[in-house]
Chains A and B, each alone.
Chain A
Amino acid sequence: MALGFLSTFAATSAATLVLVGNAPTTGALSTQQDDGPRTSWTVTADAIYTATGTVIENGFVRVSDGEITAVGRGKIKGDFHVAAITPGLVEASSGVTIGPESVEQDSESTPHISVEEGLDLFSTRWARELSGGVTTTMVSPLDRNVLGGLPVVLKTGGGEPTMDDRVLRTGVGVRACMGSEPSSGNSPVFGRAFGIFNRRPTTRMGVEWVFRRTFYDALRARKDADFTFEGVETVYQVLDGELPLIVRASPRLDIITALGLKQEFSIPNVVIDGAAEVLPEEEAIVASGVSLILAPLTFDGNTGADRAYMAWNTPARMAERGVTFALSGGSSRNDDLGLALQPGHAMRGGLAADAALAAVTIVPARMLGVDDRVGSIEQGKHADLVFWSGAPFQYTSSITGVMVSGELAVDPRHGEEL
């Protein structure tokens, strides 16, 4: 097993071990709830990758009522044993939406409309994400608007498919999109029946103009009491840094645009999503202090987003330069694992194993403001765990089980492997 960064931390992990309550000699004390799926377990593993900088060899995780109550080292009898455990993966750029109905297109700038009403919690796509190890995800409106609205962060499973049970956080940021997507499908008025697509941008400069107009209008509304528009409060929050601007920009030219807009309006808090052609603008990115959600790495470098190209060493370089970045799988979980393969790809491009793990767990959790509840294996956090057949993220390993909020979504005990 390739526990590359394991030995470094093994010693400290033993010292920092936290045991809550009594340390029972048997793990069978997990209580079965009266109704609903069981949410209390003790799981043992050859290695537990906590994403807090430690790897615990021969350890256990105790889960009670959906929360992690203890993480420790030592051979105890658990409910089941697995080769390796990582935290549930956190997808910062999910493709799970219900499609065009997730974004209000009657205006190209709808910063204030939440995607919450555009979700289908009954979709089978959640289960698909979940079985791929993703337990938390951010969902944004489909990128058909320049300013598309408010994304939400939610769990992919656990409890009932209701907003109460699933939504972790709203007000994560405001979604914006550079590039060709918001302008594709629009047309000039001439020669076509009038429709909402007539008055929208058809080019990148049009897209940028819509963005800038919205922000200039907001600046004006601040000064001019008689002037306002729908969603202005949301734009204020972006200007004040209360809400991050999560802007999709994949090719180099769009990244340049996004960085330019950040500077023009002094937007304090910017996350670039789907970032692909990052290396050519490395210096500008470092200087701007933006965070990145990297586009999914592919074998031929073609990310599929605006034909943007992404080199394999991009994550490694970003780590070297101290840029905060998360990896993303997008909606790529069609043939095989989605996000769960990305750390392997990043490692292939030179990223260290612990950084690769962090980039799909605690870093995106922090980016989305939910790191108090998910993103690492720590006492008090949601019991979101991924069980592996071997070293996590190796191509020759598989996900054998997934736990979300203490529920076994994929049961490793029955050989229900992917």
Chain B
Amino acid sequence: MLSTILAVTLATAACATPFTGESSIDASTAQGPLATHDARVATVQLTTGDCSSDFGVSTDIGGSWTPDGRVPESGSALATDGVEAAPAQLLAIVADQLHLPDGATVKDGVLVVRDGVIVAAGEVDVPEGARVVRHDGHVTAGLVAPYSAGYLPSDESNENTRPFLPDGRVVYGFDPELPRLADALEQGVTTIVLPPAVSQVVGGRTGVVKTYGGHVVSRGAHLALSMGSQAANVTRAPTSYGGMVRALDGLFTEPQGAYAEVASGNLGLMTYVSERHEVDRALRLFARHGLKGALVGPSLAGELAERIAESGCSVVLPTPDLVPNERERDAMVALFEAKVAFGFWLNDPSRYRSSAITALRAGATRDDALNSITSTAAKIARVGTSVGQLARGFDADFVLWSGDPLEFTTTVEAVYVRGELAFGGDQ
């Protein structure tokens, strides 16, 4: 593996201040690909997107990673600044049912893709010269997982020497060759949030990546906090909820660095909380500092739904059982009724879509249920303006379903990532 070519094309020339506002720790971690992948690094192309201070919006701040330095065969997804990779090619999907962002489903809808990006979707004409794929089923945006567990090489998510590591970036532990990514892809999941482990209070920054092609959508979408019991670890400070809260209160009072970015809204906030008292504690902390973000893990926080709604937080629920127990279901219903934006964990990929079906069965609207694994999930992941919807300007990540994606009997027939056939299909 050491013989692997270290062909790192850092596009930092185009980016004068690649890590604005970050501490020196982060500057060094910016070299992370060299440090962490030195045994097997291939091509890393950092795009200008990394300069963006707005981590939550549409700019594609990813790059592309291919093993062994080879350029991906299709070459179509590699539109990067200043580098014209391949001639533009039009792809048109004609679907029996095309799911559009407003919840509408268009019969015989057309999705037009160029350079990995959607240029048109809906009742439009098939452009001339386009390669046409006809699909006798539903087409939705690729599924987005706003939180995941087990999609990093083991231990790479837990920097257990530092309970507070605001500038750590999980994305440097991202291994595009991890087999589980392909499993997720086969279930229609195209974008996932990689969070740091929940055993540290401030675990680092989440990354948002594609399950195919090694694309990195965001190198730092959220600051990840853990206010779960796992973070109150008796082998180091803090060992208690009191210590944890006290430390966080200190960090968010006249915040610096990452904490300031979170306070100003430039950086998202993703907080792991499991028990109800942990949710309550997080909400009180948020109220003191004017924070909001995604609450990850509160499967039973039904009683707190109103307060969560008032706080403006969204919720990422652990994968519910196919037939959730009464209490889990009541909690879901309470969240739906309080109009809290919700998504689900990605754990076992084969059960990811069924989370949305469970939500539907528990009383969520069809739109909310489908959005919970697409557009809402993307918004929670703070990449809501680039993935999760079939709309002009969005990444051409989509799934060709055999039928209605909210039916158990439906299967994935093909998955496209950035306009490239990533799984299935024989077209």
Contacts and interface: CB of A to CB of B under 8 A. Distances in A.
Direct contact of A and B (CB under 8 A): yes
A119 B278 CA distance: 9
Interface residues of B, number: 22
User: What's the dominant secondary structure at chain B's contact region?
Assistant: helix
Interface residues of A, number: 30
B277 A113 contact: no
Nearest to B231: A101
Interface stretch (A47-55, A103-111, A235-243, A277-285): A103-111
Contacts, number: 84
Interface stretch (B38-46, B64-72, B196-204, B236-244): B236-244
Contacts of B241: 98, 101-102, 117-118
Contacts of A160: 303
Contacts of B234: 100, 105, 196-197
Nearest to A102: B240
A119 B243 contact: no
B237 A120 contact: no
Interface in B198-217: none
B351 interface: no
A106 B280 contact: no
B284 interface: yes
B235 to A, nearest CB: 5
B243 A196 contact: no
Interface in B211-237: 229, 232, 234-237
Contacts of A123: 277
Nearest to B281: A117
A104 B240 contact: yes
A115 interface: yes
A352 to B, nearest CB: 41
A83 interface: no
A384 interface: no
B277 A106 contact: no
Contacts of B232: 100-101
Contacts of A102: 240-242
A145 to B, nearest CB: 10
Nearest to A230: B246
B277 A195 contact: no
Most interface-central of B238, B241, B244, B280 (chain A CB within 10 A): B241
B421 interface: no
B287 to A, nearest CB: 11
A104 B239 contact: yes
A37 to B, nearest CB: 14
Given A106-B236, A196-B236, A149 B242 contact: yes
A107 B243 CA distance: 10
A56 B365 CA distance: 59
B243 A113 contact: yes
A157 to B, nearest CB: 14
Interface string A153-179: 000000011110000000000000000
Contact of B277 (A115, A122, A141): A122
Contact of A115 (B236, B237, B242, B303): B242
A114 interface: yes
Interface string B253-291: 000000000000000000000011100110010000000
A114 B246 CA distance: 9
Given A110-B243, A121-B276, A161-B276, 12 more contacts: A98-B241, A101-B239, A103-B242, A106-B243, A119-B277, A122-B276, A149-B242, A160-B303, A161-B303, A162-B280, A196-B234, A196-B239
Interface of B: 229, 232, 234-246, 275-277, 280-281, 284, 303
